[in-house]
Amino acid sequence: MAHDTEVTRREILEAADELFYGVGLRAVSVDEISAKAGRTKKTVYYHFGSKDRLIAAYLEARDRPTLERFQRWAGNEGTVAERLERMFRRLGRCAKSPTWKGCGFVRATGELADSPNHPAIKIARAHKANFEKWLRENLAAEGHRDCNVLARGLMVLIDGAVTQMLLHRDASYAQAAARAAQALLRP
Amino acid sequence: MAHDTEVTRREILEAADELFYGVGLRAVSVDEISAKAGRTKKTVYYHFGSKDRLIAAYLEARDRPTLERFQRWAGNEGTVAERLERMFRRLGRCAKSPTWKGCGFVRATGELADSPNHPAIKIARAHKANFEKWLRENLAAEGHRDCNVLARGLMVLIDGAVTQMLLHRDASYAQAAARAAQALLRP
């Protein structure tokens, strides 16, 4: 991809992220994203084809950075339980910021609940499956049994904590989730 | 309230529930709700004042029936852990229906994430707090310690299971949540 094209694409995606994550998918128009990116609507369509594909591209661009953020929060030291405890503590701290608006993938799933085949839902599914795989591999490396069901339980705790905190803006739900994770992983 | 007024109000709310829950808050217009209810837009505004207040009224009408459905699923027999196991099993079964679109309160929280003072968010907060209170009282009656943090952990598990199932349409997340609930309540 030529340098200019890449820059344009990245700037449109940054504007899309700010508005889709900050406000919502259906509340924000391609016009608003074009204006924020300082590009014409035609340029946005040239690069992304449709609003639906732009929504999918916005989530795709969040995939790796989101997983890497949680991995960084967890760190490499200690048992899986200890790393999850750290991760939930950092998540609880993050949720206090007014710019934090929960999980973009979960919110997209909710907004697009009537379109289960939307390209963004496929990206969201792949993201969560990838996140779950990371948990499962860590559990397996530590010698847990039933790593599949344990990893699913941890995904439930992470998304549940995020959801409760978006509603109540109260980090104690992350602490409660961390405690449930400890109980779940107890031998 | 006169009988006619009550009927009109109820029919508008039924149409709002079908469209707001089935499709979304911002994707659905007052025009569409009026048409589905077989009323004029003016009548809808006469009864609810604004779209935002209609959204809040839609969630308010879901408050008690939702809690009562979960209470019915849990039943009165057995320990809290056994009742939660039953509740999660029924929730998993429910999530297989294509008309099931997750939790209306959680989805509203996501769609309105940029409006934390929206009247619907206040209703959602009150609903979840009420649900949590029911769990806390059951835990206290069974003699658990730290009922506050345990009830929060259970709320996290319920909303997390709902969220994961809306994405993957896979009831095994309800089973994974049930297992985490058992672990959390183990003495």
Average pLDDT over residues B110-127: 97
ipTM of the complex: 0.96
Test the A interface: residue of B163, B168, B169 with most A CBs within 10 Å: B163
Each residue's pLDDT tens digit, B59-90: 999 999 999 999 999 999 999 999 999 999 99
Task: Output the average pLDDT for chain B.
Answer: 97
Report CA torsion sign: A106, A108, A111, A112.
negative
End-to-end CA distance of chain A: 51
For residue A1, the model assigns a pLDDT of: 59
For residue B46, the model assigns a pLDDT of: 97
Each residue's pLDDT tens digit, B27-54: 999 999 999 999 999 999 999 999 999 9
Total-model pTM: 0.96
The type of residue at B147 is C
| Cβ contact A156–B177 (<8 Å) | yes
The burial class, CB within 10 Å (0-12 / 13-18 / 19+), for A62 is buried
Q: How many CB pairs under 8 A join A and B?
A: 167
Q: Which domains does chain B have, with CATH numbers?
A: 1-49 (1.10.10.60), 57-185 (1.10.357.10)
For residue B131, the model assigns a pLDDT of: 98
Residue B187: pLDDT band with limits 50, 70, 90: confident
Give the closest-approach CA distance of B120 to chain A in angstroms. 11
Give whole-number Cα distances, A109 to A25, A74, A177, B27, B47, in Å. 11, 25, 22, 14, 31
Task: Kindly list the averaged pLDDT for each block of 10 residues, start to end, along chain A of length 187.
Answer: 87 98 98 98 97 98 98 97 98 96 98 96 98 98 97 98 97 98 95
Q: What angle do the packed helices B30-37 and B41-48 form, to 10 degrees?
A: 100
Q: Do B128 and B62 touch, CB atoms closer than 8 A? A: no
For residue B2, the model assigns a pLDDT of: 75
Percent of chain B clearing pLDDT 90 (strictly above): 97
Please give the Cα distance from B86 to B129 (Å, whole number).
22
Give whole-number Cα distances, B92 to A122, B44, B95, B119, B173, in Å. 21, 36, 5, 30, 8
